[in-house]
Amino acid sequence: MTAALYNQSGGNFANQVDGFVYPQFIGYALRAPTSQDIYNPGTRWQNNAVNPPVIYETSGAGVWNLSTSGGAGNFTSLTVSGNLNLTGAASKLSINAGTPASASIGTTAAMTAGAVTITSSAITASSKIIYSRRTLGTAMGNVSITAQAGGSATLTSDENTETSTFDYLIIN
């Protein structure tokens, strides 16, 4: 048995199509949906103001997410003006390391004399660099960034014999 094509309210056929059984597809929009665009859950919205067009789907109450079923596809760039929420049980953020010369993530070489330099064109004087030990070296100490300029940053330990390696993430 299939779901009802119409509800029991009066009116012409267009007014009788059940929006919960057959959600709308808004394919003519020239903007992204906002929280003021209230539609039934499952309604999809195609933003034709960008190329390629982006498809959103609502869970109701003005909450819109990028559609996972409908060809939103891969993005070369994604701009989010609010929070970026990864809410699925297996959600994760994957960052392509790219080439070492321009990578925003990576692993350092082992410290020599308690210091190691991260070299990447992604580093600026105002970059935020998050780092953590990957492998434990000898005589581990407290590590800090002691030099940072366009193209490189130096991690230095207060134990000058430390030989640890570090993973890093550069945020601009």
pLDDT in tens, 99-141: 666 778 889 999 999 999 999 888 999 999 999 999 999 889 9
State yes or no: pLDDT of 13 exceeds 60.
no
Model pLDDT, residue 92:
75
Instruction: Please give the backbone phi and psi of residue 16, each rounded to the nearest 5 degrees, phi first.
Output: -100, -10
Flag whether the pTM goes above 0.95. no
Contacting residues for 59 by C-beta, under 8 A, at least 6 apart: 41, 65
- Quick one: 80 and 128 in the same domain? no
DSSP state of 13: H
pLDDT digits (tens, 9 = 90+) for 43-97: 888 888 888 888 888 888 888 888 755 444 555 566 677 777 777 777 777 776 6
Q: How confident is the model at residue 1 (pLDDT cuts 50, 70, 90)?
A: very low
- Quick one: 80 and 122 in the same domain? no
- Quick one: 4 and 56 in the same domain? yes
Q: Is residue 110 part of a domain?
A: yes
> Residue 58's closest CA among 30, 27, 23, 28?
23
Going by their DSSP bridges, the two strands 44-47 and 105-107 should be labelled as unpaired
Tell me the residue range of the domain where 112 lies. Answer: 105-171
- Quick one: 82 and 117 in the same domain? no
